[in-house]
Structure 1
């Protein structure tokens, strides 16, 4: 069964600024990892059909929460669609032996101008069954909070 997870936030920055943070390697490494993780981009090709590979490392791997190893989640992301200052569509595949994490999850980042800022909504479709919905939505919200802090501080 297909599952959809969502999170949203208004960010005090222009859609162009937010869009640029979605397509900048150093920016993604800084804001995308949710609380309790750090990230490293291993390759980078920011164009439709291109993508990146991110290694997310748990700061406290107690209990082995990782999908790829006890301490890591590795995800290959392909850019399916890039619409400047409006939308980024990504196809994400986790590197994992457990079939509960198999399949391709589609993540769409929608950007809508809202007053002096941007309403950012991320929608994840076909979320692998092994990812708990509450945990995933909390992680998405954490990444959005990091994104807000990152772009609002840069202003």
Structure 2
């Protein structure tokens, strides 16, 4: 099955980026494409903890995977290595067989001069999910993650 791998520099220390991966309020801010609103139903950020998130288009011109204008996915935190790695197994809530199946999303954090390198790897994309579109969305989300973590770092310094 196809996969997507994206790297992003974040101008904030690794522990700050790690916190943004595990904080529901932060995730609601950065893990949402432009033109969509995020709703966190469940977010228990520990190994075995459940995740359930809905993303709804602001304008009802786009079709959702779960409902007419909404994509909902659920899963679990499969691995959490403090300040280093977060692994989630996720699947869309859908009747479309081309969008079904368990996907794995791994975020790996490494120290680099001036901040953190985030490597995000999305494995086992279902056949109905375009790898190119997934990469575009992943890049946008990581840009928002960087902005969020960098703003938090700046606020802590002030």
User: Does the TM-score normalized on the shorter chain lie above 0.5?
Assistant: yes
Residues 44 and 53, structure 1, Cα contact 8 Å, conserved in 2 = yes
In 2, Cα distance between equivalents of 1:45 and 1:84: 15
Match of 1:148 in 2: 146
Helix, strand or coil for the counterpart of 1:154? helix
Q: TM-score if structure 2 supplies the norm length?
A: 0.93
Helix, strand or coil for the counterpart of 1:139? helix
Match of 2:65 in 1: 67
Helix, strand or coil for the counterpart of 1:34? coil
Q: TM-score if structure 1 supplies the norm length?
A: 0.95
- State the superposition RMSD in angstroms: 1.0
Q: How far apart are 1:28 and its partner, in Å?
A: 0.5
Q: How far apart are 1:129 and its partner, in Å?
A: 0.9
Deviation >3 Å, runs of 4+: none
Match of 2:19 in 1: 20
Structure 1 residues not aligned, in runs of 5+: none
In 1, Cα distance between equivalents of 2:34 and 2:88: 21
Count of matched residue positions in the alignment of Structure 1 and Structure 2? 153
In 1, Cα distance between equivalents of 2:110 and 2:60: 36
